[in-house]
């Protein structure tokens, strides 16, 4: 993972991104009890994945390399809009 963040030119933000992902994961679980928390967490993760797609485009990754970020972007948009 450290090499990937270096490749993304985000090495100094590695712990911030990881912490935000943990918090959003907890928020998704909390959304099972409080739907607004799940929506907020899914929206945050969707925003994070939108930035990830932008980073992938900026570093000229192929579509195959960008596909996971696009998938998780779509999944979190769905969770935000329809699931909670």
pLDDT in tens, 37-79: 999 999 999 999 999 999 999 999 999 999 999 999 999 999 9
65 against 84, higher pLDDT = 65
Domains identified in the chain, total number: 1
The pLDDT value given to residue 2: 84
User: What is the extent of the structural domain holding 40?
Assistant: 2-83
Q: What is the mean pLDDT of residues 19-30?
A: 96
The closest alpha carbon to 10, from 44, 62, 48, belongs to 48
Contact (CB, 8 A) for 84 and 39: yes
What pTM value is reported for the model?
A: 0.88
The answer to whether residue 84 scores a pLDDT higher than 80 is: no
pLDDT band at 1 (very low <50, low <70, confident <90, very high): confident
The pLDDT value given to residue 22: 97
Distance CA 57, CA 66 (A): 8
The pLDDT value given to residue 48: 96
């Amino acid at each position: 993972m450290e090499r990937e963040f270096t490749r993304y030119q985000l090495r100094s933000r590695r712990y911030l991104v990881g912490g935000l992902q943990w918090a959003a994961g907890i928020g998704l679980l909390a959304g099972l009890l409080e739907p607004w928390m799940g929506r907020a967490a899914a929206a945050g993760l969707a925003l994070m994945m939108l930035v990830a797609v932008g980073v992938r485009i900026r570093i000229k990754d192929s579509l195959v390399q960008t596909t996971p970020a696009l998938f998780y972007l779509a999944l979190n948009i769905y969770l935000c809009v329809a699931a909670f």
